[in-house]
Amino acid sequence: MDKKQIENRIKELRKLVEYHAKKYYDDDKPEISDFEYDMMMLELRTLENENPEFITKNSLTQKVGGHVKEGFQKVEHEVPLQSLQDVFDFEEIKAFDTRVKKQAEENGIKEVKYVVETKIDGLSSALEYVDGKFVRGATRGNGLVGEDVTENLKTIKTIPQELPEKINITVRGEVFISKENFEKMNQEREENEEELFANARNAAAGSLRQLDSNITKKRPLDIYIFNVQKIEGKEFDSHFEELEYLEKLGFNVNPVKIPCNTVDEVISAINKIGEDREKLTFGIDGAVVKVDNLKLREILGTTSKVPKWAIAYKYPPEKKETILKDIAFQVGRTGVITPMAILEPVKVAGSTISKTTLHNEDFVKEKGLKIGDTVVIQKAGDVIPEIVEAVTSKRTGKEKEFVMPTKCPVCGADAIRIEGESAVRCTGIECPAKLYRNLVHFVSREAMNIDGLGENIIGILLDKKMISNIADIYDLKFEDIASLKKNGKKFAQNLIDSINASKRNDLYRLITALGIRHVGVKAAKILAKEYDNIDNLANATVENLSEIEEVGPIVANSIREFFDQEQTKDLIKRLKNAGVNTTRIKDETADNRFEGKTFVLTGGLENYSREEATNIIEKFGGKTSSSVSKKTSYVLAGEDAGSKLTKAQNLGITILTEQDFEKMIE
């Protein structure tokens, strides 16, 4: 390449690494693997080193990635939290050793020792203690300024709130989520139809950087401390000595710390960590080599971005070839049908892989996978096995095309894919794979409100095969329920009473309880009012349903598909036979002063929550909408009302203050 081409390539790489650094550090949603990012950075760093005239201070090779997230207070780090120089082969480790020894000799230091530690895959943070008490914690941010996440860090049980010594100390550690907990989190998110975390690092970072510490508290965060940033009243000669002192103070110190006397021992330690990485309970993305002598560290110094006394060795992702023997299908609790690769067992990164998720139909097609293909497997983020690609050159012609099922492999109901979504779902309400979740929803407070029939009891009833269908709830006998608990007669009677009471519920509760996709409580109330009974709703056409302003074509199709299923028809029939009400209960004495009126709520009300105001409007026969249109009757505007108020004013819609509203409901 000539100089102009080199300059253009450097500019192109800078844009790419800036973009992917933002996705990784700021958004916690990476789009490429760590290895791909590392290779991009390596190419940029090499080109800049060979062409120093093109180096700028804004290049990510010269500064730490990451910014302070909006909503957090800024914290200036008294001692910068720098990143590390990455290397990818042992020749670079030896070159590092040569540089260190040269400066050591020039300063009269004869012996050079190192400590090799695991490079934990998490979010770097600093913990500050005053008089032995934890007073502040911050993320690394850009190395100089981070985010104050003190309250979130306090939720991590392995962080001591008070030390046994009254000292002033700042330590640095890595917040992470263990491999086991990461897998559990993603399994739970998949069952709840939530977006999966890309890897354990981003799960930890996203959890720690929550604006609500109650969310962080629910996440299984942990931390390993690996450095003393600053300490008053004590001096140490070596890094290893510091780590031992931190352990005595009660810190959860990085468990893998190998002292080394020579560069050959360093390389052996790196290899040992690489061999054992699968056995570790936490994910790593490399091994860190640190100079042990603290005086020598001061002599070596730092650049604006990295210390000159440490280096990070990055392990290449291990890839293996195997055969894609078959594609099976797994049905989750929400009915999502996930293709699973059945593989010829192969050992990758220390563990034997015989199956892995293929995520969805689009993933299989993008990879161009066929049953019988030779495929390349690697472990993403040291945890999740994944298929990288098919080796098309090894195809024999006997491979079979992949076809996503149109029927649920568990219950035989229609399997559908809604436009705009990647998931294919089972539509059967009686599907055994979905039964537990469907039962939990059916009895919930906003649905049939069967008090006493919680998740634990439902689990026991299913395990004992006392129910195998939603309608079986209404066939439960007093004796059956009483047998579930010691001295369970009172519990049984209360539950029987609650089950019987649910038979008298209004129609909207039953519609909510059926769990029709996209139909919540609000839509259920509208549908109940529009159709009066379950049969009318079950027979409604997509066209008629779509005419209802709050429904629309997507919800209309979902309703139609639901009631077209034989399983739905069977369930409705059984519920009717059990005496469950399927008709709207009309209150002839009800005050319907808001009937035919649509309200839009915007801004903050002083005396009512949004839910309370909505309930009042609905009680008087009105309805609420989330958007302003020509059909809106009133806009109830509280403090800091925004664009909805402006739009209402432009359309000439009546604006109500809270006082106006209170007069209307007197």
- pLDDT tens digits along 516-541: 988 988 899 999 989 999 999 999 99
Q: Is 490 a catalytic residue?
A: no
Per-residue CA distances from 153 to 215, 419, 491 (Å): 12, 41, 41
Do the domain assignments include residue 133?
Answer: yes
Instruction: Supply the CATH number for residue 528's domain.
Output: 1.10.150.20
Tokens coding 362: 């689009």
**615 shares a domain with 537:** no
Dihedral angle computed from the Cα positions of residues 154, 63, 59 and 303, in that order, rounded to the nearest 10 degrees:
-160
pLDDT, residue 434, reads 85
Three-state secondary structure call for residue 640? coil
Q: What is the domain count for the chain?
A: 5
Question: How far apart, in Å, are the Cα atoms of 66 and each of 17, 82, 132, 334, 445?
Answer: 12, 12, 30, 36, 43
User: Residue 598: in which H helix or E strand, if any?
Assistant: strand 598-602
| Residue 7, domain extent | 3-54
The pair of three-digit structure tokens given for residue 345, joined into one six-digit string = 């067992």
The owner of tokens 């026969």 is: 621
Domain holding 380: CATH number? 2.40.50.140
In a domain, 231, yes or no: yes
- What confidence score (pLDDT) does residue 209 get? 85
pLDDT for 607: 86
Under 8 Å between Cβ of 324 and 387:
yes
13 band by pLDDT with thresholds 50, 70 and 90: confident
Domain boundary residue among 397, 426, 455? Answer: 426
Which residue did the predictor score with more confidence, 164 or 1?
164
In angstroms, how far is CA 315 from the centroid of its own chain? 26
Question: Tell me, what's the pLDDT at 65?
Answer: 54
- pLDDT, position 25: 66
Residue 187 has a pLDDT of 78
**pLDDT tens-digit series, residues 425-472:** 898 888 888 888 899 999 999 999 999 998 889 989 998 999 999 999
For residues 379-398, give the mean pLDDT. 83
Q: How confident is the model at residue 381 (pLDDT cuts 50, 70, 90)?
A: low
The CATH number for 659's domain is 3.40.50.10190
What pLDDT is attached to residue 545?
93
Domain membership of residue 472 (yes or no) is yes
Out of 96-105, 324-333, 355-364, 594-603, the most confident range is: 96-105
What is the pLDDT, as a whole number, of residue 596?
84
Mean pLDDT over 285-304 rounds to: 94
Q: Kindly give the interhelix angle for 200-208 and 179-191, rounded to the nearest 10 degrees.
A: 80
Structure tokens at 181: 């907990």
CA–CA separation, 586 vs 224, rounded Å?
62
The pLDDT assigned to 34 comes to: 67
Looking at residue 397, its pLDDT comes to: 93
What DSSP assignment string belongs to 358-404? --SHHHHHHHT--BT-EEEEEEETTTEEEEEEE-GGG--S--B----
Q: Are 149 and 209 in contact (CB under 8 A)?
A: yes
**Domain containing residue 12: CATH number:** 1.10.287.610
Nearest residue to 113 via CA among 122, 121, 124, 104: 104
Mean pLDDT, range 243-248, rounded to an integer: 96
143 alpha carbon, distance to own chain's centre: 25
252 lies in the same domain as 105:
yes
Same domain for 99 and 234? yes
- What is the DSSP pairing of strand 86-87 with strand 310-313? parallel
Average pLDDT over residues 71-93: 90
Taking the C-alpha atoms of residue 319 and residue 184, their distance in angstroms, rounded to an integer, is 25
Is the pLDDT reported for residue 152 higher than 80? yes
CA torsion, points 217, 219, 222, 227, in degrees to nearest 10? -80
Cα distances (angstroms) measured from residue 641 to each of 580, 605, 636:
43, 10, 9
| Burial of residue 233, with CB atoms counted within 10 A of its CB: 0-12 exposed, 13-18 middle, 19 or more buried | exposed
Of 283, 313, 343, the last residue of a domain is 313
The band of 4, judged by pLDDT with boundaries at 50, 70 and 90, is: confident
60-84 average pLDDT score: 76
- Which one is catalytic: 69, 113, 119, 367? 119
Whether 11 and 35 map to the same domain: the answer is: yes
User: Is residue 67 domain-resident?
Assistant: no
Find all residues with CB under 8 Å of 401, minimum gap 6, and list them. Answer: 370, 371
Give the pLDDT band of residue 383 (cuts 50, 70, 90). Answer: low
| 3-state DSSP of 258-278 | EEECCHHHHHHHHHHHHHHHH
Q: What pLDDT sits at residue 554?
A: 86
Report the pLDDT value the prediction gives residue 54, as an integer from 0 to 100.
82
What is the predicted pLDDT for the residue at 449? 94
Query: Which residues, in sequence order, are bridge partners of residue 385?
Result: 379
Given a cut of 80, whether residue 64 has pLDDT beyond it is no
Strand-by-strand arrangement of the 114-120 sheet: 86-87, 310-313, 284-291, 114-120, 257-260
- Give the Cβ contact number of residue 560 at 10 Å: 18
Could you give the CA distance from residue 342 to residue 323 in angstroms, rounded to a whole number? 9
What's the mean per-residue pLDDT of the chain?
Answer: 89
Work out the pLDDT band at 43, boundaries 50, 70, 90: confident
Residue 412 shares a structural domain with residue 488: no
The kind and range of the H/E element at 440 are helix 435-443
Note whether 461 and 537 are same-domain residues.
yes
AA letter at 22: K
- Note whether residue 177 is domain-resident: yes
| Greater model confidence, 494 or 611 | 494
Q: Is beta strand 623-625 parallel, antiparallel or unpaired with respect to 634-637? A: unpaired
Q: Is residue 589 over pLDDT 70? A: no
Reduced to 3 states, what is the DSSP secondary structure of residue 603? coil
Q: Is residue 16 part of a domain?
A: yes
- Is the separation of the CB atoms in 126 and 281 below 8 Å? no
Residue 642 inside a domain? The answer is yes
Q: For residue 50, what are the contacts with CB-CB under 8 A and spacing of at least 6? A: none
Query: Based on the domain organization, do 294 and 332 belong to the same domain?
Result: no
- Give the C-alpha separation, 514 to 553, whole Å: 19
Judgement on whether residues 306 and 405 belong to the same structural domain of the protein? no
Torsion sign across C-alpha atoms 380, 382, 383, 387: positive
Residue 356 has a CB neighbour count (10 Å cut-off) of 19
Place of tokens 């192109």: 12
For the cut 90, the answer to whether the pLDDT of residue 256 exceeds it is yes
Per-residue pLDDT band for 551 (boundaries 50, 70, 90) equals confident
Burial environment of residue 167 by CB neighbours within 10 A (0 to 12, 13 to 18, 19 or more) = middle
Kindly state whether residues 120 and 231 are assigned to the same domain: yes
631 shares a domain with 602? yes
Task: Out of 135-139, 180-184, 483-487, give the one with best mean pLDDT.
Answer: 135-139
Same domain assignment for residues 438 and 400: no
Q: What is the mean pLDDT of residues 464-482?
A: 93
How high is the pLDDT of residue 33? 67
Query: Rg (Cα) of the chain, in Å, rounded?
Result: 31
Final residue of a structural domain among 577, 612, 627: 577
pLDDT given at position 531:
94
* Domain-embedded: residue 590: no
- Listed in order, strand segments (DSSP E) in 83-221 are 86-87, 114-120, 123-130, 133-139, 145-147, 169-176
Q: What is the mean pLDDT of residues 619-645?
A: 88
- Alpha carbon distance 307, 140 (integer Å): 15
pLDDT over threshold 60, residue 204: yes
Judge if 37 and 143 occupy the same domain: no
Token pair 């890839």 in the structure block, residue: 319
pLDDT level of residue 380 (50, 70, 90 thresholds): low
Strands 123-130 vs 133-139: parallel, antiparallel or unpaired: antiparallel
Please classify residue 240 by burial: count the beta carbons closer than 10 Å to its beta carbon, then call 0-12 exposed, 13-18 middle and 19+ buried. middle
